Amino acid sequence: MRKAVPGATPTSTLTRMAALRIALAQVDSNVGDLRGNAERIRDFVARAAEAGAHVVLLPHMVLTGYPLAGLAYRESFQSAAEETLHLLAGDLAVHRGLTIVLGSLGVTEDDQPFGSVAVVRDGEVTQHNPRGAAATEDATGAVIEVAGTSLGITTASELSVADLVPHHGRGVQALLVLYASPFEVGHRTARDRLRRAFAPQVGVPMVVVNLVGGQDDLIFDGDSCVTDAAGTAVVRAPRFVEHLLLVDLDDDGPRAVDPDHREPAPPDPVADVYQAITLGLRDYVRKNGFSRVVLGLSGGIDSALVAAIACDAVGAAGVIAVSMPSDYSSEHSRQDAAALAEATGLDFRTQSIAPLFDACQAELKLAGTAAENLQARLRGLVLMAISNTEGPLVLAPGNKSELAVGYSTIYGDAVGGYAPIRDIPKSMVWQLARWRNARAREAGEPEPIPQRSISKPPSAELRPDQLDSDSLPDYDVLDPLLQGYLGERRSRAELVDDGFDAALVDRVIGLVAASEWKRRQYPVGPRVTSWALDRDLHLPLTSAWRERS
C-alpha cells in the first residue's frame, strides 16, 4: 500500500503497519426507529468485538435511518437522535478500546440537518463530519488513530470526488467511507468504476460500508467492500442482506478474515432486480407493521410475478391472492391463477365480480372504456374490502411500461399501498418470471409462475378477445421507445432517426403526457432504474409541451 506522507502522522509513518482488523457492519436500519437501530448496532458491534476487530464501521445515518426527508428538520427528532447516540456510546463502553464509527444526524450552525459521523470509544462520543464541518468553515475531514494506524473518515449518500479528496496527501493509511447508496441496475459496476477513478487522488485503500434494506422507494443493496490502493474492490460483502464483514489491513493491503469468504456473484441485472424488489417489499411490509399482503390474481404475467415475489418476500402463508373473474375472463386465466396458488401454497380465494358488475350496470348503463374501468374498479373495491376487514397491505401489479403510457385503471388495478414492479418494464417482467422459475427448477421445487402466464399474449380481459396489442405497440418496441424518450430524454426527431415510426412516437409522447395525473396517484414501489417515473422524471402535471418534428 501507498506509504503515508512522512511527517503528517508521525506515530505511524515510519514503522511497518501492524494488521488492523476492521469490521464493516452492513446494517438494515429503520427510519425514525432510534431505539431499534441502536439495538441493532449494539448487536453488530458485540459480534465485531468478539471477532477481535479494532474498529467497527457502520453506514451513513445508520442510527436514524436514511433518507429522513422532512423528519430531519424536527428538532425533537434531532435531540432524540443525539440523546440516543450518547446512550448507545454508554452501552458500547463494555468493549474497551474498540473504536466505532457510525453515521447519525447533525445540525449545522444555521440549522441545516446533515449526515454526521460519530466516533465512539470507551463510552465517549466525538462527533466528526467533513460535510458539516465544511458548513462551519472546517473542510479538512476527520482523521482518527486506531492501533497506530491513521484513518481518514468521510460520509456520503453518493461517492463523489468532493467527499474524498480532502484526504489526499494527508498521510492516512486508509479511508473509511460511510455510505448510503441505493440500488439501481448497473450501479455496482458504476461504483467500481468511480472508486478506481478516485484511487489516484485517494492513494490508500477505501473501506466502504453501505446500508442495506428498503426505505419507501429506495432499496439499498449493501455491496460494502474494501478496495486496494488502486481502487479495486478486493473484499466484498454479500448484497441484499445484512452482513458483518471482517477485514485485516496491513502494508500488504486488505484481506478477508474468513478463509471461506466468497466473492458475491458478479452483477446479473435480472437476478439483482428480483432480489432488490423482494427486499423492498419485505422491508416495506415489516417496517410498516404489516404481516400479510393481498393482491388480485388474474392469471396474467404481472400479477403472477408479483405473487411470486410476495411469496418470497413474506412467505406464501402471508399472501392472499384473489381471483376475481368477470364474464370476460378466459378459462385459461382462471386455471393459471389456480395453478400458481397450487404451486406456491398461498391463500387463494375467488370472488366473482359479475354480480357486482351487473348490479352497477343496471343503474349506470356504461359502455366502452367506462364499462371496462368499472370492472377494474370493482376488483379494486373487493381488495380494499379485504384490506379493511383483515388488514393486509394491498399490492398493485402495474409495470413500468403500462404506467408510462397510462394503460391502467386508476382506482381499479391501481389500488394499493405498494407496487412492487412499478419500475420494471414489461420486457423485464417476463425475464424476471423466467429467472424465478429457473431458480425453482434448480432447487427441485415447482415453478411458481405457470408457463402459460409467461407465454400467452398479454390481455387486460376487460372486453371479449381484448389484447394489449389492440391499444399498444408490442412491448419490444414500446420499451426501447420509452427508454429513449424518458430514460435518455431523446427528442421526437432523434427517436424517428432511431427508427421508430413517427406516428407511434407521437402517440406514445401524447399518452405519457396525458397520464402523469394517474402516475402521481399510483402507489409507491421500489426504484431499480435511473429513471423511475416518480423520483427521477418530475414531469409537470400541467404542460402544453409536445415534441415536434
Using CB under 8 A as the binding rule, the residues of this chain from 380 to 419 that contact a copy of itself are 380-382, 384-385, 388-389, 410-411, 415, 417
520 in contact with a copy of itself (CB under 8 A)? yes
DSSP state at residue 485: I
Shortest Å distance, C-beta 328 to a copy of itself: 17
Given the complex with a copy of itself, which of 267 and 487 has the nearer CB atom?
A: 487
Distance in Å, CB of 376 to a copy of itself, minimum: 10
Closer by beta carbon to a copy of itself, 14 or else 514 = 514
Contact 544, 510 (CB under 8 A): no
Helix (H, G, I), strand (E, B) or coil at 520: helix
In this complex, which beta carbon is closest to a copy of itself, that of residue 97 or of residue 510? 510
Q: Decide whether 441 or 520 has the Cβ nearer to a copy of itself.
A: 520
Q: How far is the CB of 390 from a copy of itself (least distance, A)?
A: 9
Look up residue 480 and give its three cell numbers.
426501447
CB of 176 to a copy of itself, least distance (A): 27
The nearest distance, CB 100 to a copy of itself, in angstroms, is: 22
- Residue 500's contacts (CB-CB under 8 Å, 6 or more residues apart) are 477, 481, 484
Residue number with CB closer to a copy of itself (309 or 414): 414
489 contacts a copy of itself (rule: CB under 8 A): yes
Shortest spacing between CB 514 and a copy of itself, in angstroms: 9
CA separation for the pair 99, 58 (Å, rounded): 11
If binding is defined by CB under 8 A, does position 215 make contact with a copy of itself? yes
3-state secondary structure of 97: coil
The residues in 321-380 that bind a copy of itself, with binding defined as CB under 8 A, are 351-352, 355-356, 358-360, 362-364, 366-367, 369-370, 373-374, 377-378, 380
User: Whose Cβ is closer to a copy of itself: residue 367's or residue 503's?
Assistant: 367
The correct pick among 43, 91, 501, 547 for binding a copy of itself (CB under 8 A) is 547
Residue (of 506, 437, 431, 438) closest to 475 by Cα position:
431
Q: How far is the CB of 523 from a copy of itself (least distance, A)?
A: 7
Stretch 220-259: interaction string toward a copy of itself, x if CB under 8 A:
----------------------------------------
Backbone angles phi and psi of 242, in degrees to 5: -65, 150
Residues 6+ apart with CB under 8 A from 296: 303, 321, 322, 323, 324, 379, 382, 383, 397, 413
Angstrom distances, CA of residue 5 to CA of 172, 176, 324: 8, 18, 71
Q: Find the binder of a copy of itself among 96, 266, 503, 545 (CB under 8 A).
A: 545
20-49 residues near a copy of itself, rule: CB under 8 A: 30-34, 36
- Report the residue from 284, 407, 430, 500 that binds a copy of itself according to the rule CB under 8 A: 284
Q: What is the residue-wise DSSP string for 357-391?
A: HHHHHHHH---HHHHHHHHHHHHHHHHHHHHHHH-
- Give residue 522's identity as a one-letter amino acid code: Y
Backbone CA torsion sign across 185, 190, 195, 201: negative
With CB under 8 A as the contact rule, the residue among 126, 232, 288, 469 that binds a copy of itself is: 288
Identity at 294, one-letter amino acid code: V
All residues at 6 or more sequence positions from 514 whose CB lies less than 8 Å from its CB, including other chains = 406
Q: Which is nearer to a copy of itself, 65 or 166 (CB)?
A: 65
Sheet holding 393-394, edge to edge: 347-350, 319-323, 293-296, 393-394
* Per-residue mark of binding to a copy of itself, 443-482 (x: CB under 8 A): ----------------------------------------
The yes or no reply on residue 87 touching a copy of itself (CB under 8 A) is no
Query: Is 70 an interacting residue with respect to a copy of itself (CB under 8 A)?
Result: yes
Q: Round the CA-based radius of gyration of the chain to a whole number and report it.
A: 26
Counting contacts by CB under 8 A, is residue 543 touching a copy of itself?
Answer: yes
Q: Indicate the helix (H) or strand (E) that contains 278.
A: helix 269-287
